[in-house]
Structure 1
Amino acid sequence: MEHLTKKSYYELLGVEPSATLAEIKKAYKERLLNSHPDKTQRTTRDNIVVELKTAYSVLCNDEARREYDDEVQRRFQKSGLISSGEGLDVVTLDDFVCDVEAEGEDSIATFRKDCPRCTAQDGFVLTDNDLEDNGTPDGMGGYEIILQCSACSLWLKVQYYEDEEEE
């Protein structure tokens, strides 16, 4: 597995993850010209040209790029690094498995999710009561609640909307 501190393919080419194919091609050509020993008349890292070619071939192939992006995301989550800019990974209730238990006339929903970092089964558990009592408005018509894995130190921000039927 690639080490987390190694530059990403995007960093190698000097482009953003949202870069278009044209931007990737342009950056690749510039980096290759600026790095290739035959063009620069200077010595450089032996494998930089190979790394640039590999990055370019992956990022120019839609399927390979999707797989690469997914793998990077999984590595970051397992290491405990956060993928969003504000400090917590954001998920929705759709990412959870929902179990509904009937108690008399009422039913209670329990939402469960395995931890993406430590892989603890049901590391994250929420109930309807948790959502009603502890959720805060997200400013966009929905709600959010912050939840820690029961087995490690990973925290998630769970976004959800109030059930329309109950109103």
Structure 2
Amino acid sequence: MALGLALSLPAAGQTPDPSPVVVVDQDRLFDDSLFGKRILVEIDRRSEELAAENRRIETELIAQERALTDQRDALPPEVFRERAEAFDSRVTTHREEQDAKARALGRRRDEARQEFYGQITGVLTEIIAERGARVLLDRRAVLAATEAVDITDTAIERIDAAIGDGSGDPSADTPPD
């Protein structure tokens, strides 16, 4: 069970009292940033394409298996065995290829997160210095904290301003609907 403690925030325009520790929600930092949203849309699109490809391949393999089964009685046993082994080999190859594509999607997300965190170090360091903090912790590692020490929203705004969606295309730096 997660514990949370929220106290009132400073008035608008007022700087929060310095705290030696600030926290950030790393998942939200990535997921809610323009960069993260672009990557997640890309990965979702590729995942849907992979799922459609898997369904198409499965349909083709089912048809091939039925055709092979229908030929069983008409073929000499050794010919049928050769064809069945060839079919099994194709199934295994397709499965390995599709699994590799799925793993590549997972790697793409991990690599994008690493790239993102590599690009935002300066932004986070600047916010930490402005707040007079000495330590930045992931919100998940904190049992209780006031909202005043959570810099996630500020960090997302500044990261979006600094790196946009990461594509290098300024027109793409608007949040998806």
TM-score band w.r.t. shorter chain = under 0.3
Larger radius of gyration: 2
* Structure with more of its chain in helix, by fraction: 2
* Structure with more of its chain in strand, by fraction: 1
Q: When the two structures are superposed, what TM-score results if normalisation uses the length of structure 2? A: 0.27
